[in-house]
Amino acid sequence: METSRSTHLLSRARKKIPGGVNSPVRAWKAVSGQPRFIARGVGARVFDVDGNEYTDFLGSWGPLILGHAHPEVVQAVTETLTRGTTFGAPTEGEVELAELVSQRMPSIEQLRLVSSGTEAAMSAVRLARGFTGRPKVIKFDGCYHGHSDGLLARAGSGVATLALPDSPGVPPAFAGETLVVPFNDLNRTAELFRKYPGVIAAVIVEPICGNMGVMLPAPQFLAGLRELTRQDGALLIFDEVITGFRVAAGGAQEVYGVAPDLTCLGKILGGGLPLGAFGGKKEIMALLAPEGPVYQAGTLSGNPLAVAAGLATLRRLARPGVYQRLEEHGQIFEDGLEKVLDQYGMPGLVNRAGSMLTLFFGVETVNHAGEARLSDQARFGRYFHGMLERGIYLPPSQFEAVFISLAHERKDLENALNAFELWVRLEATG
């Protein structure tokens, strides 16, 4: 496979961009090797600068549920572009998008558009603290809520500890207001509420994990969080940046029947352009400036191009049979992967929620981050490169999700499964 142009571009990039990339996971550190520089995408395909073609199961990390360069999205953005790129003033599209999101997710009575999922989570936490007048926040090990200082924390030793920051440059005092427990551990969460009564502002959680690989909530876990927060007077924040409009029209909160106080959105919301949002109960959102004292602002918030792409995407997803197709294709892919693993006696499992899934090697269960970290990451690296050589583009990390789009046809899934079987056969025979 020819990669000389990607190699040359990476060399140039490293001179001016830290690590040669503008987001760390793009550097392929987890799987070794060098990243491919992508030139274009169409439907379920991407093409790199050397002319190599791949079936894409990365989907730009989740936003492209319709596939690359979907005609309706392209048309919407093009028409909007002719009228201007940004105004720093309200537009009709912002109102339409807010109304549409509220219709899909009734727990969101009002929302504020921002430019990224990180900004959405950061702002939701600030609002929760402002509303409750409390300082501490509970998050779960392995759940990623962006790179804001207070949320870059993970579990320490013991039952549950005040976490140390995960990154230099984050003052320990910032991370010290974040309490971290294992995902799916309702008992330890309850212990924190007993230890810090009336001090916890919010629990923030990915209702379905997508940033430690896909992990599903245990039965009654989300409902249990709803009850714990309600009893204590804390808020429940669902980070649906990945799951929003992915697992259902109304996100994971529709699937599990649990309504949070605040919700964070991104990825699919912008249809492939930078856009995020946070929203929830009107009484909470009323604290945001200019109505209230909690300040949040953004020059490009509600950017017309991103709003147009988001509206086109959500309207396309409203058509009958969309989520049934995604579920069916997700099931086909899951069944096919597990069949090959069983056939060749290779230890592993697939965690899936609709059209997002993760294949873990060497483990029998993955219900929290600790179990995910026990998976065979070296084998995952070989798997990634084996699939890449066969024209299948996957997330370059064990701790991410494969995304199936509406652009993927049955034959795309079958080709990927055939490539997987070929790789497993070689791997199993040494």
- DSSP codes joined into one string, 363-378: -S--SSHHHHTTS-HH
Is there a single domain that holds both residue 311 and residue 350?
no
Is 52 part of any domain?
yes
Q: Please compute Rg for the chain using Cα positions.
A: 21
DSSP state of 203: E
Rounded Cα–Cα distance for residues 265 and 117 (Å): 6
DSSP state of 51: -
Is there a single domain that holds both residue 328 and residue 305?
no
Rounded Cα–Cα distance for residues 125 and 118 (Å): 11
Is there a single domain that holds both residue 300 and residue 339?
no
Is 359 part of any domain?
yes
User: Own/partner pairs for 323-329, CB < 8 Å, 24+ apart?
Assistant: 323/248, 323/249, 323/354, 325/406, 326/65, 326/354, 326/355, 326/404, 326/406, 327/354, 327/355, 329/355, 329/404, 329/408, 329/410, 329/413
* 261, 289, 317 - which closes a domain: 317
Q: φ and ψ at 183, to 5 degrees?
A: -60, 140
What was the pLDDT predicted at 156? Answer: 29
* 317, 335, 368 - which closes a domain: 317
Is there a single domain that holds both residue 230 and residue 379?
no
Q: How many CA atoms lie within 13 A of 47 on its CB side?
A: 9
Q: φ and ψ at 259, to 5 degrees?
A: -100, 115
Closest by Cα among 207, 58, 204 to 145: 204
What was the pLDDT predicted at 216? Answer: 98
Residue numbers of the chain with a pLDDT score lower than 50: 155-164
Q: Which residues are catalytic?
A: 144, 239, 267
Q: What is the pLDDT of residues 361-374, one digit of tens each?
A: 999 999 999 999 99
CB atoms near residue 18 (< 10 Å): 10
CATH classification at residue 87? 3.40.640.10
Rounded Cα–Cα distance for residues 253 and 262 (Å): 11
The total domain count for the chain is 2
CA distances, 71 to each of 59, 354, 360, 407 (Å): 16, 24, 35, 12
What was the pLDDT predicted at 153? Answer: 66
* 257, 285, 317 - which closes a domain: 317
In DSSP notation, 355-420 reads TEEEEEES-S--SSHHHHTTS-HHHHHHHHHHHHHTTEE--SSTTS-EE--TT--HHHHHHHHHHH
What was the pLDDT predicted at 151? Answer: 81
DSSP state of 321: T
- 260 cis-preceded (ω within 30 degrees of 0): no
Q: What is the pLDDT of residues 93-151, one digit of tens each?
A: 999 999 999 999 999 999 999 999 999 999 999 999 999 999 999 999 989 998 887 78
Is there a single domain that holds both residue 81 and residue 129?
yes
Is there a single domain that holds both residue 327 and residue 179?
no
Is there a single domain that holds both residue 92 and residue 232?
yes
CATH classification at residue 326? 3.90.1150.10
Is there a single domain that holds both residue 285 and residue 370?
no
The whole domain housing 28 covers: 4-57+321-429
Query: Sign of the C-alpha dihedral, residues 284, 290, 292, 297?
Result: positive
Is there a single domain that holds both residue 46 and residue 143?
no
Rounded Cα–Cα distance for residues 199 and 128 (Å): 12
Is there a single domain that holds both residue 183 and residue 203?
yes
Q: What is the pLDDT of residues 297-348, one digit of tens each?
A: 999 999 999 999 999 999 999 999 999 999 999 999 999 999 999 999 999 9
Residue 341: both structure tokens together: 């693993």
Rounded Cα–Cα distance for residues 241 and 276 (Å): 8
Residue 164 buriedness (CB in 10 A; 0-12 / 13-18 / 19+): middle
What was the pLDDT predicted at 154? Answer: 59
3-state secondary structure at position 13:
helix
Is 413 part of any domain?
yes
Q: What is the pTM of this model?
A: 0.95
